Amino acid sequence: MIEELQAIFRELLDRDDLELDEQTVPAELPGWDSFAHVNSLFAIEERFGVQFSTREFGQIRTVGDLAELLRQKGVAA
């Protein structure tokens, strides 16, 4: 799951060298801003066929949180 998320983040941030792990805090990534945050969640929703509620959207702090939320929504790792 982390590899798929990493591919999405690499494309959105135009950073082929970007490495993510479960403790990565997206807000600390170079080039990250609120626009990147919203675009990444839309891209992830589209890629995995899920939707995030406003509450879920606000609870995502790390890449691990995002991966766990996707697992809870039935997305296989």
Please say whether the dihedral angle defined by the alpha carbons of residues 66, 24, 40 and 35, taken in this order, is positive or negative: positive
Side-chain-facing half-sphere of 28: CA atoms under 13 Å = 9
Q: How confident is the model at residue 38 (pLDDT cuts 50, 70, 90)?
A: confident
Q: Domain map of the chain by residue range?
A: 2-72
For 2-72, give the CATH class: mainly alpha
How many C-beta neighbours within 10 Å does residue 53 have? 8
Q: Are 22 and 68 in contact (CB under 8 A)?
A: no
What is the Cα–Cα distance from 26 to 5, expressed in whole angstroms?
11
Q: How confident is the model at residue 74 (pLDDT cuts 50, 70, 90)?
A: very high
Q: What is the pTM assigned to this prediction?
A: 0.87
What is the Cα–Cα distance from 36 to 12, expressed in whole angstroms?
7
| Residue 13, helix vs strand vs coil | helix
Q: Would the pLDDT of 77 be above 70?
A: no
